[in-house]
A and B are shown apart, each in its own frame.
Chain A
Amino acid sequence: MEDEVSKCINCGFCESVCPTLPSAGFVASHGARGRVDLGLSLVNEIRTGKRSLRVSDPFYSCLDCFACLQVCPAGVNAGKVSHLAREIIAETDLALPQEKDLAAMIVSVTMEKMNPLGLRRECARWSSGLSFSKNSTTLLYTGNMYQLMPYSFALGRAGKILGEEAFVSASRFIRKHPDIAGITAFMKNAPMEKNVNLYLRSIYTLLRKAGISFQYLGEEEPYPGTFIYDLGYINEFSIYAERVTDIFRRRNVTEIITIDPHTYDLLKNQYPRYVKGFDFDVRYYAEYLQNLEFRKTGERVTFHEPCHFVLRDVKDFDLKRMIGNVSKMELPERSGKRVMCCGGPAELLFPDISKNVSDERFRQLKATGTESIITACPVCFSNLKKDDSVEDVSSFLLRHLM
């Protein structure tokens, strides 16, 4: 933390591209520079043995999109500062009680149920009637990410309806009784479930058309632990990642096909840091589609690039090229290294900030005037699905398959 914050000269470049600053009403602590300033204060407090600051919310509201890093002349990553601060917060009493309770509840349920809402059975339903190659060493790993969207959406809404106090009490209760989390199965957003199931089946079909055979863990499939990692519970994440890896090993997996940017990033970049001998060949499903032939149409689409791919220098595949090859693709004003996050990562703890970010991003995407908007991440899809023009890249590609 000290290494990162001490590189900052406070020029404010990062603040100008940080999506949460305007979305949080321009409160500077909810912008990239403010987070680095608070990180510096946190370091100074720890050094002097003080514990007076309650600084959790600015770090929890960070979207981890790394837009700040792209423009920082000194290479400061405010996203990394936020992550390191969350690690400190997870081990100390520096968080505001309501945030700590909710975070701890999510971690606790995930550790217990291998899914943040205890819905592994529900997360496997999309695969009903599909066949898999049980003995393949290649694994299709959904990480439950698409499947959770219909529920997390409803959960965020429940938080608002219940109000802060009741939601915190519920969090505390669920933390002690993780089985209760399963009640969220009754809070699903049915149209969203229909969409994500279509996308999961589209991915399945594309991979099969590309001649790939793979196994799928079904109801045994664990969530990858993204929330645990993102909330800074690193000790718990290490344990959790080991457990997930054990499942992969028990099923003789050598190659993992991920289908969303968050899971891809976590498995590709974080798992090897925390799990000894994590030597799986982690890929994104689009890598397998290079030899498929797609129809070129005159359809005008706008592509919302996922920040986990664009801002973290993923070079193994080029979704932009694939979409551009089958349509007249346009990019919004903020794209490439200036891409703007959809706001999704703040959905659970800061639904208002998340909504403001996604409203602004949706406005930018609509400003191109194309017929549809293509996303390539379940979190982006869920947050940007504000009308029927939004579609996941999987079904879009499948529609254009020759």
Chain B
Amino acid sequence: MNVEDELRDIFGNRVLTRKEDMIPYTRDASFFSSDIPLAVVIPRNAMEISKLMRLCCENNIPVTVRSGGSSLTGSSVPLRGGIVISMSAMNRILEIKTDDSFVIAEAGVRLDDLNSELRKKGFFYPPDPASSMAATVGGSINTNAGGLRASLYGATKEWVLGMEVVLPTGEIQQFGGKTLKRTKGYDFTALMVGSEGTLAIITKAILKIRPMPEELGRIMAYFTDIENVGRSIMHLKSSGFIPYIAEFLDKGSLESVKIAKGIDYPKESNYLLMVDMASTHESISRLMEETSSVIKRFNPVSISITTDRAEMEKMYEARKGLYSSSLLLRESRDQYIVIADIVVPLSELSSAMREMRDIIDRSGIKAILFGHIGDGNIHGNIFASPGSEENRKKVEKLQLDLGMVAIRHNGSVSAEHGIGVEKKELLREEMKFHNSEYTLDIMKRIKEVFDPKGLLNRGKIFD
């Protein structure tokens, strides 16, 4: 039996081998793409994946796992061909236990769908990457996704209790468990978070959940000066105000939101600081006033408070769609976006933001800045033009320079998007800066233990 026959033996008609069917699996939300893979399979359970991995092991076939296909660094692109595992059909929510504070969901469950079910019980799963409409449980664990609410709740790593995985050699294993704490040797659950599909295939996960906040309020503060945006958030946090969400948009981002969603902004402003606070019905007004008074010390040109859910939702959606809607600012139809994803400690934010702005202005490359400022995470959407070697070099240099700002300010080159294909060099730079290049060697050795034949997601994180 050849490989295709064996695949059909395992998956029946859930094996795609026609070029036309496989084209969509050659791209994700990054600017990377690949050639057509050998095949795409759509499993329904861990056992099928286990059989597949044994087959791939025997035949040395590379495997790339794909779920929502919303990676921004090319992690789900099958660069080395082989077989793509689409986790889309493994999209069941298996158990919601509010008394034990967890939900068990298969890897292909989209985060918005998960929260839609949890909401019915008054609970939610806090990690909310801007891509939550498309992003899935499996993908967000693999990139340690953060999102808007990470300001208060932290990134995905804080919310994963355990998981079921299929190892590259075909074994099905359980990591972690259903309890809120445990100590049982090496923490493989933590190791899997951010591993970008290079160590094992996550099939389901046990995730912590929280009751929904009783009341939310929002402050929209517009500034002319970038450093005052950073100072505002730093002082808010040091004064004990921990935002539920704290987002920052520069003028280009505001313009993009205006075009896409019709949400206008004061002409004289260059930056928006959007701060959401969570509290009780009784205290929300007082909290919003107090939060607002801290921000007012940094001279916003305009500041307003709202608790209107519809108004808040509109801007929330606009912010979540910003990566895509910023494409409306392109100067030509073939321009594409390279996205920076740096993070610095809050105390460094103000000066780091100033440096980033200056570097962009000097680069001669169009870029917009926005991000989850509440946890020091700034994104830069850099507009790149294909076909121009000069432009390509400039864009690469800009990406590197922005990453170096983070490194110099004790931050990191990747806050929440992962390394993928795109940030491998930046990762090396960060390790080098901290004299920790040996860490990269340890990572490679761990990879060899899990995946001796190097089948899973080749060419991602490191070569």
Contacts and interface: CB of A to CB of B under 8 A. Distances in A.
A29 B134 contact: no
Contact of A55 (B20, B69, B113): B20
Interface string B322-351: 111101100001100100000000000000
B323 A41 contact: no
Given A15-B134, A74-B324, A37 B23 contact: yes
Interface string A57-73: 01000000000000111
Contacts of A58: 20
A115 to B, nearest CB: 34
B134 A26 contact: no
Which residue of B260, B321, B334 has the most chain A CB atoms within 10 A of its CB atom? B321
B260 A71 contact: no
A9 B323 contact: yes
B68 interface: yes
Contacts of B19: 52-53
A25 B324 contact: no
Contacts of B14: 25
Contacts of A16: 68, 110, 112-113, 133-134
Given A34-B24, A54-B20, A12 B68 contact: yes
A51 B271 CA distance: 49
Interface string B193-219: 000000000000000000000000000
Given A13-B134, A73-B322, A28 B327 contact: no
Contacts of B42: 25-27
Given A6-B334, A10-B69, A27-B42, A75 B260 contact: yes
Contact of A7 (B13, B16, B68, B327): B327
Contacts of A73: 260, 318, 320-325
Interface string B352-377: 00000000000000000000000000
Contacts of A55: 20
B131 A33 contact: no
- A2, A31, A34, A52: which has the most chain B beta carbons within 10 Å? A34
Nearest to A36: B24
A28 B337 contact: no
A27 B24 CA distance: 9
A74 B16 contact: no
Interface string A28-52: 1101011001100100000000001
Interface in A7-23: 7, 9-13, 15-17, 21-22
A22 B110 CA distance: 13
Contacts of B131: 11-13
B333 A6 contact: yes
Interface string B14-56: 1010011101110111000000000010100000000000000
B28 A10 contact: yes
B291 interface: no
Interface in B84-113: 86, 88-89, 91, 110, 112-113
A4 B91 CA distance: 30
Interface string B53-88: 000000000000000111000000000000000101
18 contacts: A3-B333, A9-B337, A11-B131, A11-B134, A12-B29, A12-B68, A16-B112, A16-B113, A25-B89, A26-B89, A28-B88, A52-B19, A73-B260, A73-B318, A74-B260, A74-B325, A74-B328, A75-B328
Nearest to B320: A73
A194 to B, nearest CB: 38
B57 to A, nearest CB: 25
Nearest to B333: A6
